Amino acid sequence: MLVSGRHFFPDVAPRSLGHKALAVNLSDLAAMGAEPRAFTLALALPDAQAAWLSELAAGMLELADAHGCELIGGDTTRGPLTLSLTVFGDVPVHKALRRDAARPGDDIWISGTLGDARLALGDFRGEWLLPEPDFSQVRPRMDTPTPRIALGMALRGVAHAALDISDGLVGDLGHILERSQVGALLDVDALPRSTVLASQPEARQLECTLAGGDDYELCFTAPVGERDRIAAIGARLGLAVTRVGAITPEAGLRLVDREGNPSAYHGTSFDHFASP
């Protein structure tokens, strides 16, 4: 469910909104290694404007067509602008990527880069001001994220546990640790980031990569012996995959720098009920 003023700005371009509404749901399928099949859309609108709806549909259906995902039903009503989608996919028996399957000794991997969506959001909120062309380079990560469907499917039988990073790495990785009853050692200096984010102050880099959210990259764990295979998958897909830490038998998430020293970062991820 995406709610105006909560998950997107009220004046967002409708084509971008249509794309994002479906993309964030497809990302959940990617995190399980599932192949998309269909989706439903329930839409509340303060008023029905044909041109706006046409653009919303264009953004949504372009992404749907790219993944062979059919719109098969839904509902509409008058109300505050809200989009609620349910996506359907399938995965071979016993091949689904789960949150409860991480094992001590597993590597922790991240696809793509983290933090650009949060960096763009900070500019929108007036927390900082990004010069051009920096802002234009990071804004698409917030407006039109890419669901990593192909990567999720390729990780079947390779990764142990996985999820998509929607609310921030610290909180989302914490779900894997809790469900798998393990801990993790995370190298904050190894976290992949764009050149734009890498040019920002260190504290801002940590905030964006660790707790930013809206990245929709995959975080997954896999045995050490799968490193070459994972690198080959990334190369085949043209997608960077970065090793950022390891699963430990001791509970809790420990953040360290490249020298192994404890990180000074103490922030938290997005909370749908506690966050403003």
Which tens digit of pLDDT belongs to each residue from 46-55? 999 999 999 9
List the alpha helices (DSSP H) in 105-168.
116-125, 134-143, 149-154
Domains (range + CATH), the chain? 2-90 (3.30.1330.10), 107-256 (3.90.650.10)
Q: Which amino acid is at 182?
A: V
Q: Which amino acid is at 106?
A: D
On the question of a cis peptide bond just before residue 131, with omega within 30 degrees of 0, the verdict is no
CA distance 215 to 200: 18
Count each helix (H run) and each strand (E run) in the chain, helices first: 9, 10
Is 16 a known ligand-binding residue?
A: no
Lowest mean pLDDT among 1-15, 55-69, 241-255: 1-15
**Mean pLDDT of all residues belonging to the chain:** 95
Name the DSSP class of 236. Answer: H
Is 164 a known ligand-binding residue?
A: yes
Q: In the chain, what is the straight-line distance between the N-terminal and C-terminal CA atoms, in Å?
A: 17
Is 270 a known ligand-binding residue?
A: yes
Phi then psi for 133, rounded to 5 degrees?
Answer: -90, 10
Query: Cα dihedral sign for 234, 239, 242, 248?
Result: negative
Is 116 a known ligand-binding residue?
A: no
Is 75 a known ligand-binding residue?
A: yes
Query: Model pTM?
Result: 0.93
Is 28 a known ligand-binding residue?
A: yes
14 token code pair: 């409708």
